[in-house]
């Protein structure tokens, strides 16, 4: 039976790059068969119909799909009555509680200068993203308030996910014979508990607790034996990320910090146009490029399809098909290393289609 994937191109360049990802999935040697179903979502859909995420889209994803891909949304920068970000809502509705964002340079390119090979594990359901906001008229003008929520449950499960990601990376590294480089096999807890001692204090304690109780409960070696843990305040994190990105392996962060630091990390690998993510629950996964809808270049065949193609590979990997996923990663790396078919964001002159075609060719080698 073919795997059914719900495809939500949504807005702007999402509509150009998501089809590239679908074609790559279909052409990857060793990949399962796919059955793609396009589902409406996004700001443009909202403008046409009044709904940014139709119930039917969520129903089909829940009841019929094995996985999904999301493109990118255009967000109005001011409040539009009745509009709410469909991607934020989707993550919550499907309980895709982890947004896993690997930021990895390509060896043999200028990425080597500031080597980065890190995965940001972003909590995906709470923090300020619960969007509980109020506004009122006070004696000195308007007063707006938002609630930032951090729960023990969500912090523990994202902590566990981060240690599991670190473990999987360690396994891969030792399989590839490249383990034991400095600063590897480590989870860094990102927070700001020097100011937010209660909310970030809880996040910090919960994540550390996952690690420490693993140590204690284990009669023999614990599950996370061999993985280190440290922590970093979010402001210093951004600073150190620019200065010495190589010291970070897996970084786990509450929702908003995760959003910010992953964009920061993206700057280190040349372009947001190459950074992939997967929104992960326990059994359902949704690939999503980290970039936005880029209205300035939308519809011009200029967008970089790599972030979406890598997101498709991540989706495959998380769905349990790591061999075809590795083939896609390698084909993309080859094309970046060759440097002949790169889009303008990577200082190239290729179109979206030319870049996609180069990847399709590399896949067949």
Give the residues lining the site for its own copies (CB under 8 A).
Answer: 75-79, 85, 88, 128-129, 131, 133-135, 138, 140-153, 156, 192-199, 201-202, 204-205, 231, 233-236, 238-243, 256, 259-264, 266-268, 272, 292
Closest Cα partner for 251 from 307, 200, 340, 186? 186
Tell me if 336 sits within 8 A of 274, measured CB to CB. yes
* 68 alpha carbon, distance to own chain's centre: 13
- Asked if residue 259 binds ligand IPM (CB under 6 A), the reply is yes
Nearer to ligand IPM, 85 or 179 (CB): 85
Least Å distance between CB 276 and ligand IPM?
12
Nearest to 331 by CA among 349, 357, 350: 357
Among ligand IPM, its own copies, none, partner that 298 touches (CB below 5 to 8 angstroms by kind): none
Report 160-199 residues binding ligand IPM (CB under 6 A). Answer: 194-195
Q: Which of 58, 73, 206, 252 binds ligand IPM (CB under 6 A)?
A: 73
- Closest distance between ligand IPM and the C-beta of residue 237, in Å? 11
| Angstrom distances, CA of residue 244 to CA of 42, 235, 301 | 37, 14, 35
CA distance 325 to 67: 15
Q: Does 249 bind ligand IPM (CB under 6 A)?
A: no
Q: How far is CA 303 from the centre of its chain?
A: 18
State how far Cα 344 lies from the chain centre.
22
134 binds, among ligand IPM, its own copies, none (CB under 5 to 8 A by kind): its own copies
- Residue written as tokens 């508990």? 193
Q: Return d(Cα 258, Cα 188) in angstroms, integer.
A: 12
Q: Phi and psi dihedrals of 284, rounded to 5?
A: -120, 145
Q: Is 98 in the site for ligand IPM (CB under 6 A)?
A: no
- Listed residue (277, 222, 247, 264) closest to 21, CA to CA: 277
Comparing CB distances to its own copies, the nearer of 91 and 302 is 91
Residue from 51, 85, 149, 205 that binds ligand IPM (CB under 6 A)? 85
Closer CB to its own copies, 168 or 260, in the complex: 260
Region binding ligand IPM by CB under 6 A among candidate stretches 43-51, 84-92, 140-148, 221-229: 84-92
Residue among 50, 49, 87 nearest 68 (CA): 87
Candidates 85-93, 244-252, 313-321, 326-334 — which segment interacts with ligand IPM by CB under 6 A?
A: 85-93
The site for ligand IPM (CB under 6 A) is made up of 73, 75, 85, 87-88, 194-195, 235, 259, 290
């Amino acid at each position: 039976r073919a795997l059914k994937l719900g495809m939500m191109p949504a807005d702007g360049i999402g509509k150009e790059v998501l089809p590239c990802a679908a074609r790559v999935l279909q052409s990857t040697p060793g990949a399962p068969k796919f059955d793609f179903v396009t589902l409406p979502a996004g700001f443009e859909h909202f403008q046409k119909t009044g709904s940014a995420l139709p119930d039917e889209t969520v129903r089909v994803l829940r009841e019929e799909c094995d996985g999904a891909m999301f493109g990118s949304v255009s967000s109005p920068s001011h409040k539009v009555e009745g509009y709410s970000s469909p991607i934020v809502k989707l993550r919550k509705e499907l309980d895709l509680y982890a947004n896993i964002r690997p930021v990895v340079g390509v060896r043999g390119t200028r990425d080597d200068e500031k080597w980065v090979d890190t995965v940001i594990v972003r909590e995906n359901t709470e923090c300020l993203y619960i969007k509980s906001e109020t506004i009122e008229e006070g004696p000195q003008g308007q007063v707006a308030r938002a609630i930032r929520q951090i729960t023990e449950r969500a912090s523990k499960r994202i902590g566990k996910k981060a240690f599991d990601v670190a473990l999987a990376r360690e396994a891969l590294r030792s399989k590839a014979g490249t383990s034991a480089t400095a600063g590897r096999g480590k989870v860094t807890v990102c927070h700001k508990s020097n100011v937010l001692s209660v909310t970030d204090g809880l996040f910090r304690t919960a994540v550390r607790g996952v690690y420490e109780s693993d140590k204690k409960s284990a009669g023999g070696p614990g599950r996370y034996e061999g993985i280190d843990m440290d922590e970093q305040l979010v402001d210093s994190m951004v600073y150190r990320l620019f200065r010495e990105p190589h010291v970070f392996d897996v970084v786990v962060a509450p929702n908003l910090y995760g959003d910010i630091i992953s964009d920061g990390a993206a700057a280190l690998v040349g372009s947001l146009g190459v950074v992939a993510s997967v929104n992960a629950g326990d059994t359902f996964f949704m690939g999503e490029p980290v970039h936005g809808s880029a209205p300035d270049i939308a519809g011009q065949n200029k967008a970089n399809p790599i972030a979406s193609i890598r997101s498709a590979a991540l989706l495959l990997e998380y769905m349990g098909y790591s061999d075809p996923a590795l083939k896609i990663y390698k084909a993309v790396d080859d094309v970046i290393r060759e440097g002949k078919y790169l889009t303008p964001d990577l200082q190239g002159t290729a179109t979206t289609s030319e870049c996609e075609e180069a990847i399709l060719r590399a896949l067949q080698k």
